[in-house]
Amino acid sequence: MSAPSSSSPESSNASPSSCRRSATTCGCSHPAPGRPGRDPAARGPGRLQHHAREDQPRNPEVVNQIAFEIIGHDVTVSIAAEGGQLQLNAFEPIIAHCLFQSLAHLRAGCATLTERCVRGIEANRDQLRRQVNESIGIVTGLTPVIGYGQATAVAQEALLTGRRVHDVALERGLLTATQLEQLLDPDTLTRPRVLPVAVDEPPSP
């Protein structure tokens, strides 16, 4: 029986095992088992870019594995340093090997993570601002002004009703709208500073 020709569609394309998704799903040029290869250009560029998109979650996993390796190297260096006698340490080669390999892999991992994952990430400012405003944790910013007991009651009501801390505190008449905006401002919560909020001055009706 003669060997199959090297020009067959199955041998001219990459093996299906080279992709984690089937040709039907990912649109790569390799054929699914038992199906002839098709022109990748016919699918358009969008379906051929899933590999690039999948690189983003893979790159942090690469850095994780580098960290695991460095932890192991650190243990090796510790044991090798402990095993030396006086000024003579016969285990310096393994110490140097672990140190240099850790530095090289960490440098490469940081460069890869920066280029293929971190660079180009943009914060969704509107979504983040909405999440902060709807968070119950920001009630801690009111504690120095209204006291722990009142802040706890506001947090409990906000949790039960699904309302914002700002709205609950305002409805209870604990602070004015201006005071709440000052105290619950994200910039204030992350960079605390003295605010012109009178603690003993009741809010105006």
Q: What is the pTM of this model?
A: 0.47
Please tell me the predicted confidence (pLDDT) of residue 55.
54
CATH of 126-190, one of 1.10.40.30, 3.40.50.12280, 1.10.1510.10, 1.10.760.10: 1.10.40.30
Please tell me the predicted confidence (pLDDT) of residue 195.
59
Q: In this predicted model, what pLDDT tens digit does every residue of 71-120 receive, in sequence order?
A: 999 999 999 999 988 778 899 999 999 999 999 999 999 999 999 989 88
Buried/exposed 100-137: b ≥16 CB within 10 Å, e otherwise? eebeebeeebeebbeeebeeeeeeeeeeeeeeeeeebe
The three-class DSSP label of residue 2 is coil
Please tell me the predicted confidence (pLDDT) of residue 21.
43
Least confident of 9-18, 66-75, 177-186: 9-18
Whole-angstrom Cα distance, residue 32 to residue 16?
A: 6
Find out whether 27 and 48 touch, Cβ atoms under 8 Å. yes
Find out whether 153 and 105 touch, Cβ atoms under 8 Å. no
DSSP state of 20: S
Please tell me the predicted confidence (pLDDT) of residue 201.
45
